[in-house]
Amino acid sequence: MKRTLKERINLLGLSYPREMFIMAMLLVAFTIGGIALIVFLKELYIGIFVVAVGPISIFFYIGRYSSIEKVHEKEHVDELISLLSYFEIFIFNGNNVYNSFKKLIPYTSTFMNDAITTLLSMIDSDKSVGPYITFAGKFKSHVIESLLLSIYQMVDNGENISQFSEFDILFGNIRSKFQEDLIENKKRGLDTFNSFPLIGAGFVTIALSISILSVIGDYINVI
Amino acid sequence: MKNNILIFVVISLISGVTSYIALDNLLIAIAVLVVFLIMSIFVFSPMLSRYALKVKKFHECYHFINNFVIALSIKKSISGSFETTVNSMPNEFIELCEGLENMNEKEKLTYLSSYFNFHVYQLFIQIIDLWEDQGGDILQMSKYLITEIRYNEEYITKTDSLSKHKYVEIGILWTFSLLVVVILRFALKDFYQSIKNQLLYMLAIAIVMVFILLTMFLLISKGTSLKLKGNHHEKNS
């Protein structure tokens, strides 16, 4: 189902009027800047370029919503994996699955708080695998589905220790992978900065080349 | 902190001098120097200090919980274990605990959750409560907690090293980029008098300086961001 821009902004927890205001301001600022360059500094091409940057900046500004959505989805999965570490501590220290989920609530974000509260209320009325599947469906990850199924099996088999061991092995592997991903993501994030100095140097070189060509052009005109 | 300030002053000076060489305009060079210094003192340095404090506290938290659990498994008493653990901590932490003399050891442990503002410490308190109520082997009871803290500790150590490595790498790359500006200025001295007052050239230098500041801000933001669960950013996702 295709969502409208307003729905997407609201789902991301952003304010629709504020986002619209920012976009309008971007458009106005670049337009005024471009017109000022043309009128006061007689720089026609640079002025047109600055005016054109306005709509382009809005295009990129709207494009960032997709990235924010992906970041949110990943954050939710990451948060759940962190919380399942705590869940494991509670289970191992004698709590049942229901109470362990309940004990997670003080450590959750608003999204996770709602998701766990819904899961608990669904478990109250439905003892099947349904609530666990519904809960896992909130996270776009097959890993989460496997973990939730493993937790359900624990419940279904009377929460005995052998089921816990199975969950422990599965979660142990996922937790290690999660750890590697955390470090790898940070490395990848830092690596993006490598291109910044090259862009800077390239920018100056281009500006210099254009300036020199315009000076040469002036000389030729004089001759 | 002092080292950070010194490094930022050097970066500001390099940027100011490069602007002067590129534009031959003392006022613009001073403006660049001042903007860099202001950003360094009021934005970058506090970001790094906050990060250093958070890392230091997590290291302390890791040592505290680890030592406490080991001491408790031997002494089987909270007060004895607390005393032994506090004595193994840095002086600053010992002084903090000396200020809590009117509390009993359990209250002190609970009070410390405002100092160690991490979820793992709150979980630790829950395990200690459980041990007090039901008894059992504290080493076994805290097995998963210790594993979780060790994961976090490893994450901090590795990402800290990655960040520092990247600061140096990007610093060197920007130095070479600024060198390009300086070299072109001397290599093209015949054209330089004609282009130094051109709007496009001035804009290019200004944009590069802003870009350097932006790189510093984003790089430090990324380098100092830590995914450690705690009350300081509980509602982050």
Q: How many CB pairs under 8 A join A and B?
A: 141
Q: How confident is the model at residue B54, as a pLDDT?
A: 93
**What is the ipTM metric for this complex?**
0.84
Q: How confident is the model at residue B36, as a pLDDT?
A: 95
Q: How confident is the model at residue B235, as a pLDDT?
A: 40
Interchain contact, B184 vs A204, CB within 8 Å: yes
Interchain contact, B211 vs A187, CB within 8 Å: no
Q: How confident is the model at residue A1, as a pLDDT?
A: 59
Q: How confident is the model at residue B14, as a pLDDT?
A: 94
- The residue ranges of every structural domain in chain B are 2-56+148-225, 73-142
* Reported confidence tier of residue B233, pLDDT bands at 50, 70, 90: very low
Q: Give A138-189 pLDDT, tens digit per residue.
A: 888 888 998 899 899 888 877 666 677 888 888 888 889 989 999 999 999 9
Angle of helix B45-75 relative to helix B143-187, nearest 10 degrees, comes to 160
Distance from CA of B118 to the nearest CA of A (A): 10
Q: How confident is the model at residue A71, as a pLDDT?
A: 87
Q: How confident is the model at residue A25, as a pLDDT?
A: 95
| Integer Cα distance of B182 and B15 in angstroms | 11
Q: How confident is the model at residue B231, as a pLDDT?
A: 58
| Integer Cα distance of B63 and B75 in angstroms | 18
Please give the residue of chain A at the shortest CA–CA distance from B153.
A179
Q: How confident is the model at residue B237, as a pLDDT?
A: 34
Q: Give B161-195 pLDDT, tens digit per residue.
A: 999 999 999 999 999 989 988 888 888 777 788 88
Interchain contact, A211 vs B198, CB within 8 Å: yes
Distance from CA of B150 to the nearest CA of A (A): 11
Interchain contact, A183 vs B203, CB within 8 Å: no
| Integer Cα distance of A154 and A160 in angstroms | 7
Q: What percent of chain A has pLDDT over 90?
A: 42
Q: What percent of chain B has pLDDT over 70?
A: 96
Residue A49 CB coordination number (10 Å): 13
Q: How confident is the model at residue B19, as a pLDDT?
A: 92
Could you tell me how far CA B13 lies from the centroid of its own chain? 24
Q: How confident is the model at residue A160, as a pLDDT?
A: 67
